[in-house]
Amino acid sequence: MRLPKRKKRKDVSRGAGRRAGQRFDAEFGVTTEATIFLGELDPEALGPSLDYATHYDPTPPGDFEKLIEAATLAPEEATFVDLGSGLGRVVLFAARLPFRQVVGVEFSPALCAVARENLRRFDPVRRRCRDVRIVCADAKDYRLPRGAAIVYLFNPFVGPVFAAVLERLAVHDAELNVIYHTPLERKLLDDHPAFELVVDRPWGCVYRNRRNAGAPPKVGLRP
Ligand SMILES: C[S@@+](CC[C@H](N)C(=O)[O-])C[C@H]1O[C@@H](n2cnc3c(N)ncnc32)[C@H](O)[C@@H]1O
């Protein structure tokens, strides 16, 4: 996937780590840079999946760019879904690309409330996707929209929740990319017959579903 050309030195979304995240928040007037433990927030609202959830931490801006560039689907032909979207930083990143739709799925109502406020504040001029939404739901119960999709996972959950989500992704009815940052459960994806690995970095992987096996990647695939 080719990203729009930008002036590198001025773009605050480049770079990794907390400083880059703080600069992103300051530039866009949003709140995404934080570490939040779910048990201290609204545990009563979360149900049994809480046992398999990680805490909230946002994707470093530079990491998102490197992973999305490796996707084999172009934004114009796909919906982008962040499963475990937290305060919505990745939703905001994706909203800057011309996806058909961008969805953040988060099971903490408290995090969803802040994410929706972030979305409201996010400069409409910077958005290239007009249909951007936060869905407050457990990822294991969420059904992907029909059609081609890119699913983003920043180490949101493990164990049976991850396995249940994976089985749902495996039967998706169209082309699918799975971008998996900090892939603690990657063995399940590596071994799953429905998926093939297309990019492998020490901190993140990109997979696609095998209904496309044999077809050359459409754009920008890096070995
Ligand atoms: C590491 S954070 C990633 C946040 C965001 N995707 C990003 O990359 O900036 C993981 C998020 O997954 C959420 N999460 C964990 N289990 C979940 C579940 N079963 N359904 C929906 N969200 C979940 C957590 O509440 C947390 O906000």
Taking the domains of the chain in order of start, what are their residue ranges?
A: 11-212
Per-residue pLDDT of 57-105, as tens digits, reads: 999 999 999 999 999 999 999 999 999 999 999 999 999 999 999 999 9
Residue 159 Ramachandran class (φ > 0 left, ψ -120 to 50 alpha, else beta): left
Backbone angles phi, psi at 63, to 5 degrees: -65, -40
pTM summary value: 0.90
- 25, 66, 91, 108, best to mutate for ligand 1 pocket (most atoms within 8 Å of CB): 108
Task: Answer whether 67 contacts ligand 1 (Cβ < 6 A).
Answer: no
Q: In one letter, which amino acid is 95?
A: A
Pull the structure tokens for residue 88: 């919505």
CATH superfamily ID and name for 11-212: Vaccinia Virus protein VP39 (3.40.50.150)
- Per-residue pLDDT, 42: 87
Report the 10 Å Cβ neighbour count for 170. 16
The answer for residues whose C-beta is within 8 angstroms of residue 126's C-beta and 6 or more apart is: 28, 95, 96
Q: State what percent of residues in the chain have pLDDT above 70.
A: 87
The closest-lying atom of ligand 1 relative to the alpha carbon of residue 155 is 1
Per-residue pLDDT of 5-28, as tens digits, reads: 444 434 434 445 889 999 999 999
Q: Give me the half-sphere count of Cα atoms (radius 13 Å) on the Cβ side of residue 221.
A: 17
Task: Answer whether 89 contacts ligand 1 (Cβ < 6 A).
Answer: yes
